[in-house]
Amino acid sequence: MAPVRTYIASRQLEEQIVLKTTEVSSQHYRDAMARFAGAVHIVTTDGAAGRRGVTAIAACSVSDDPPTVLVCLNRQNPSNDLFVKNGVFALNTLSSRHEELSKAFAGLTKHSYEERFGLAEWETIVTGAPILPGALAVFDCKIVKTVELGTHRVYFGHVTGLRIGENLQPLLYHERGYRVL
């Protein structure tokens, strides 16, 4: 018997659609993933290939020995190749006060790539990737491995520098909108 997944079509628990694994569409998958609450980050890089920054939710800790994080970025956007070419990234974890900055780096505003960086002050720690001084946490990383799967590329970064900010309200993304914890 094939495994089944349950997809809730509305907020009313009585209305459920049961889908076989082979019938799960991209839209159903995205709808289910919208139920995840995730911390919002701006992932940045800089180097010989150029500067780039994007808003990302798909990031997490991999290991504390050696300190390693991962982030998933859309590989269908050729501009994201700058991360691989530079070999470094910084994962900047945002607080509630960074919502507008997050929207700009997500491409939801009309700001050019360079204008987005002009919306905040940036520094560097070790790798040269731009870090946001007011972030909740910053992980400055050297890319040690990438894995391509589907539409995304997973970047594994060895943490070479840290900045731990104030314990402020984290900016979250849930149900296709920003939330504050």
Q: Do 9 and 57 lie in a common domain? A: no
pLDDT at site 7: 46
Cα(94)–Cα(166) distance, integer angstroms: 11
- Look at residue 34 in the predicted model and tell me its pLDDT: 67
Q: Does 22 share its domain with 96?
A: no
Same domain, 101 and 135: yes
Which H helix or E strand runs over 67? strand 67-74
User: CATH number of the domain that 147 lies in?
Assistant: 2.30.110.10
Q: List average pLDDT for each run of 10 residues in the chain, which is 181 residues long.
A: 45 52 73 76 98 96 97 95 98 96 96 95 97 96 97 97 91 81 78
Domains contained in the chain, number: 2
Do 117 and 157 belong to one domain?
yes
Maximum Cα–Cα distance across the chain: 56
Q: Residue 173 in contact with residue 159, Cβ under 8 Å?
A: no
Same domain, 31 and 45: no
CA distance 127 to 162: 11
Q: Tell me the residue range of the domain where 1 lies.
A: 1-35
